[in-house]
Amino acid sequence: MSSSSQSSEPGIDLAAYLDRLGIGAAPSALPPTLATLRTVQRAQLLAVPFENLDPVRGIVPSLELPALEDKLVRRRRGGYCFELNGLLSAALTALGFTVRPLAGRVVLGVGDEGWASRPATHLALAVDTEEGPHLADAGFGALGALPEPLPLHDGAERAAHGRRHRLDRHEDRWSLAARTPDGWETQYVLATTPTPHIDREVANWYVATHPRSPFTRRLVVNRTTSDAHYALLGEPPVNGTTEQAELTTTYPDGRSERRTVTGWAEVSAVLKGELGVGDVG
């Protein structure tokens, strides 16, 4: 299989990528199957956190593969959807999958009916497998993030790792919903056709620079582990450091704990510890 994304960029160092994810297998032992897709997406979700340390410090993240490898693999940082799913796309392509990037609109707070009021600032992936195309996403940091790939067909529903998701097809879009104690909540909607690289570059610039972007106004870090989901929301950094933040830990049974983190030394320790962010600066 081959990718519909840009073919001129250099290939990913799969050995280093798999080591970063803690997958103890050679690339040759990972054929382009649904089982491999599940393994790789799940491993990246657990290993590489969602974070916006660069945009909130006034830095626009590069989406070029060498920069993604340096930041997310070698320096063990995290990133947001354009970076995380960009890296995942490159890895899956190198493993032999056909990958199509899909632009998305996050609709938390406005619902599916309000999708047109939201900019296309999310990126997810359609990945072909022997069991048909699947939605893959390792770049949605919220508690409603997809823990495993979901079949890309109308009405697909799957429960995995304590979360349940459903995918619905509308005339001009897909919508992904997560099950909550109050019922189904749409997380984002997706285009039905691939988004070109230049559109992802423009959306990345918008997310990293626009004054109304949530990622330029406060520190946002999320990490999913096998035992809990961690979410850190912090004040905008001053001279590169955040002096106060709130850490919410949510467990699979629905329990949650909150604590205030004060001072850069403690914030930095939480980033490196519970949230798994390396090289925080």
One of 2.20.25, 2.60.120, 2.60.40, 1.25.60 is the CATH number of 218-272, namely 2.20.25
Q: Which of 4, 10, 1 is nearest to 195 (CA)?
A: 4
Please list the residues that pair with 139 across neighbouring strands.
none
Q: Which amino acid belongs to residue 190?
A: L
Q: Which of 13, 54, 122, 134 is catalytic?
A: 122
Rounded to whole angstroms, how far apart are CA atoms 147 and 50?
Answer: 14
Q: Which of 13, 54, 81, 165 is catalytic?
A: 81
What does the pLDDT read at residue 115? Answer: 86
- 122 tagged catalytic: yes
The per-residue pLDDT string of the chain (281 residues; one tens digit each, 9 = 90 and over) reads 434 433 334 689 999 999 999 999 999 999 999 999 999 999 999 999 999 999 999 999 999 999 999 999 999 999 999 999 999 999 999 999 999 999 999 998 888 788 888 999 999 999 999 999 999 999 999 988 999 999 999 999 999 988 999 999 998 899 999 998 889 999 999 999 999 999 999 999 999 999 999 999 999 999 999 999 999 999 988 888 899 999 999 998 889 999 999 999 999 999 999 999 998 97
What does the pLDDT read at residue 10? Answer: 63
What sign has the CA pseudo-torsion 228, 216, 44, 134? positive
Rg of the chain on CA atoms, in Å: 18
What does the pLDDT read at residue 207? Answer: 97
- For 61, 65, 92, 126, the CA distances from 97, given in Å and listed in that order, are 26, 17, 5, 10
Q: Is 33 exposed, middle or buried (0-12, 13-18, 19+ CB in 10 A)?
A: middle
Q: Which of 13, 54, 128, 137 is catalytic?
A: 137
- CATH class as words, domain 14-190: alpha beta
What does the pLDDT read at residue 1? Answer: 42
Q: Within 10 A of 119 (CB to CB), how many other CB atoms are there?
A: 14
Rounded to whole angstroms, how far apart are CA atoms 191 and 55?
Answer: 25
Domain ranges of the chain: 14-190, 218-272
